[in-house]
Amino acid sequence: MSNHTYAEGHASLAELKAGQERWLAGQARHAHQDAARRAELATIQKPFAAILSCIDSRATPEIVFDQGLGDLFVIRSAGAIADRVVHASLEFGIHVLQAPLLVVMGHTDCGTTNAAIAHADGADPLPGHLTVFTDAVTPFVVPDTGDPKKRAWDTLTAHVKSIVEDLRGLEPLVKARVDAGQLLVVGAIYELATGQVHWLDESAA
Ligand SMILES: [Zn+2]
């Protein structure tokens, strides 16, 4: 960890948390979703955060953080798994557009977590190209101690934390911004049943 304060990243995080609270309280503002905002952004974008999240239709970053056009640079893949195309997309948001915060957001009851746990317990890997997901998540499956909910949570959080660590060290462009204190990278879990975002890093809690 460097001595930099990631001041911009923390300001962005505060913005996301405020939007989350509004949405949870049923007081979403739905700001930045009108023609004036569209016009403002016609030739420029400056999103204040990048978010890598799952493709699940119930875990939509712009909605759960109450943000609008141009606010968030969002990349979505199943289980928030990051391959080369995701890395390049992140570099666009972080190096080119200079978003000061990257959130890696998994969610409860994720199909990739569930498939990986089933696979670890002996089920066949997913068919077709879907094997990419069981391959990526199965190494993080924790032992069965008789509490399926906890097992899924622990597997999911271990997987998200590993993505966070990988991305903090992603050479050359992302790591350079982390090392310079210009990019804060945090993990989060969106809870489908409650709408709550749980922050995984102490620095973000
Ligand atoms: Zn998912």
Q: What is the pLDDT of residues 135-156, one digit of tens each?
A: 999 999 999 999 999 999 999 9
162 located within any domain: yes
Give 136 Cα–ligand 1 centroid separation in angstroms: 13
Domain span holding position 54: 7-38+48-204
Ligand 1 centroid from CA 162, angstroms: 16
pTM for the model: 0.95
Ligand 1 centroid to 15 CA: how many Å?
24
Q: Is residue 2 part of a domain?
A: no
Domain-located, residue 93: yes
pLDDT at 166 over 60: yes
Does 43 reside within a domain?
Answer: no
The predicted-structure confidence for 99-130, as pLDDT tens digits, reads as follows 999 999 999 999 999 999 999 999 998 899 99
Query: What is the rounded CA–CA span in Å between residue 109 and residue 55?
Result: 13
Q: Is residue 32 a part of any domain in this protein? A: yes
What's the structural domain count of the chain?
1
Does residue 140 lie in a domain region?
A: yes
Burial profile 73-83: b = 16 or more Cβ within 10 angstroms, e = fewer: bbbbbbbbbbe
What is the 180 CA–ligand 1 centroid distance (Å)? 32
Side chain identity at residue 44, one-letter code: I
CATH code: domain of residue 174: 3.40.1050.10
**Assigned domain for 129 exists:** yes
Is 139 contained in some domain?
yes
Cα(134) to centroid(ligand 1), Å: 12
